[in-house]
Structure 1
């Protein structure tokens, strides 16, 4: 590989984490682990019952720590280790990409293994163990909160994500539908000539005509693509797609 190698940008969503056993919010019933979204994942919930919100995210944090990266996470990390230019933009708040070995990961919705100040979002604190309790304060004296983007909050990293996608030579969408925001808007930031591959068990039904569909779960589809690219030592859209 050279400094001018093509860039692979990967957009990952809940589906890739679900294959590691992490339950995720689904629009179908409006519940996340049997909790109404309005009660645990909004600014209003934080004001109304911060103890419930903290307890909810402590439980999710425990699940993340127990989960392990699956073959899809490892396939992306191995591409990077093989010399490919891989940039990941994920909607997931877990650290499975990083634990698999990926080094260039942008989290659109925050990171559950970090706490942040309630008054200064620049003040971040890693949570290698344990969680957040009422009374845990930042350096400016405000209550710590989960470092996640709640429903109704702005996505501060979105402009950076747009810049990353705009420099893609090949766009790979995994574990998220092209009809779900913000993935749909991010895809529109890719160069006109940039090919796009959607990896999903229902990819053929989800993808527009200009998107190549790979109808497999992430843990099967990504290793397959990665092996092809490593064998050829180049990024390309396989003829069988």
Structure 2
């Protein structure tokens, strides 16, 4: 049962923030960093490939891994949680969607103006000039296990293209981080979905919203440890909990 005060808070919300993590994409079958790698990648730790140093040492290895990940994303479909977030945006006056995910499943589910804190697999950029290709890259055609792939060259300066994601040791995009923090400080309700709360500085966003007076909702298969005033936990898959939340709060509209 979803608590009645939470349902009422949803109905009264004027500005809602939905903050998503890898758990949402995992329900569409996209491997997370915690999942074991397969094929060529089985002998690697994912965190060792997601660094500027790894790309500098072996661009083909890192680019091939990210193209394998992008292939997985392109084969996946938005799940019920993605669709429920799109429906929430129709029901509240203002919704800001902040995601730590680097896929495009939110957009394919109908969400617009997603704040991507960790960049995107679909927006590579040049290592030298920083520009992104004007045309989208072709869908990778790789075997299941993946393989090494030489990165394309920039059409402007001939530098190597790199994945358009935030690697370990890099700062979050300033504009995206600023937008996320401003939304957290001004919202009256924040729903945190499928995130471990361990990756900083993004993990600070729910706490920032709570300190500013917002109602906080954690949607995760594992119960959230903290239970403060104005804080709720919905334990279970996002694809089940979010549609139920939307139905109970707005099903009569």
Listed as ranges, the matches of 1:182-197 within 5 Å are: 182-190=201-209, 192-197=212-217
Question: Aligned-pair distance for 1:187?
Answer: 1.8
SS at match of 1:111: coil
CA distance in 1, matches of 2:90, 2:198: 32
1:86 and 2:103 equivalent?
Answer: no
SS at match of 1:176: coil
**In the alignment, which of 44, 65, 73 is matched to residue 74 of structure 2?**
65
CA distance in 2, matches of 1:71, 1:143: 37
CA distance in 2, matches of 1:112, 1:145: 10
**In the alignment, which of 27, 43, 66 is matched to residue 19 of structure 1?**
27
The corresponding residue for 2:62 is 53
TM-aligned CA distance change 1:11 to 1:189, over 3 Å:
same
TM-aligned CA distance change 1:166 to 1:67, over 3 Å:
same
SS at match of 2:108: helix
TM-score by length of 1: 0.84
Listed as ranges, the matches of 1:141-220 within 5 Å are: 141-156=158-173, 157-190=176-209, 192-204=212-224, 206-210=225-229, 211-220=231-240
Question: Aligned-pair distance for 1:166?
Answer: 1.4
TM-aligned CA distance change 1:47 to 1:201, over 3 Å:
same
Deviation string, structure 1 residues 180-236 (Cα, Å, up to 9, x no partner):
4334311232153200000012124x3343421111110001101111232366xxx
CA distance in 2, matches of 1:139, 1:100: 33
The corresponding residue for 2:144 is none
Deviation string, structure 1 residues 105-128 (Cα, Å, up to 9, x no partner):
111111101211112335454535
Which structure shows the bigger proportion of residues in strand conformation?
1
Which structure shows the bigger proportion of residues in helix conformation?
2
TM-aligned CA distance change 1:189 to 1:120, over 3 Å:
farther
| Structure 2 gap segments, 5+ residues each | 1-11, 141-148
TM-score by length of 2: 0.80
Deviation string, structure 1 residues 58-79 (Cα, Å, up to 9, x no partner):
1111100000000000001122
TM-aligned CA distance change 1:133 to 1:179, over 3 Å:
closer
